[in-house]
Amino acid sequence: MSERLDALRGMLDDDPDDAFTRYAYAMELRSLERTDEALVEFERLVATSGDYLATYYQYARALQARGRTAEAVEAARRGVAVATAQGDGHTQAELEDLLGELEG
């Protein structure tokens, strides 16, 4: 494991519900090409912190990387809904672009 991953894991042990730390942990797993483990963390984030908007783009990309396109589309659509509800037009546009790519 990387030092960064170990540090993030320790932070999650202290506060397992911290969305930012879990997101950072999932992203570190992805950077280490441990996509399946990252997916587990993204799925947990969506389930426990569905308003943590950054999750949806990266979750959809990780699903896409595993050939799970239909699930990636669903994750991106959910993200668009969250972005719309939060009034985050920039993230909404990014997710809509991703949807176009996934559905194209």
pLDDT attached to residue 3: 94
pLDDT attached to residue 4: 94
Q: 74, 59 in Cβ contact below 8 A?
A: no
Write the CATH number of the domain with boundaries 3-103: 1.25.40.10
pLDDT attached to residue 10: 95
Residue spans per domain, the chain? 3-103
Q: 92, 54 in Cβ contact below 8 A?
A: no
pLDDT attached to residue 2: 87
Residue 1 identity: M
pLDDT attached to residue 1: 61
- pTM, 2 dp: 0.92
For residues 69 and 72, what is the distance between their CA atoms, to the nearest angstrom? Answer: 5
For residues 5 and 67, what is the distance between their CA atoms, to the nearest angstrom? Answer: 25
Blockwise average pLDDT, block size 10, the chain, 104 residues: 90 95 97 96 96 96 97 98 97 97 93
pLDDT attached to residue 24: 97
pLDDT attached to residue 26: 97
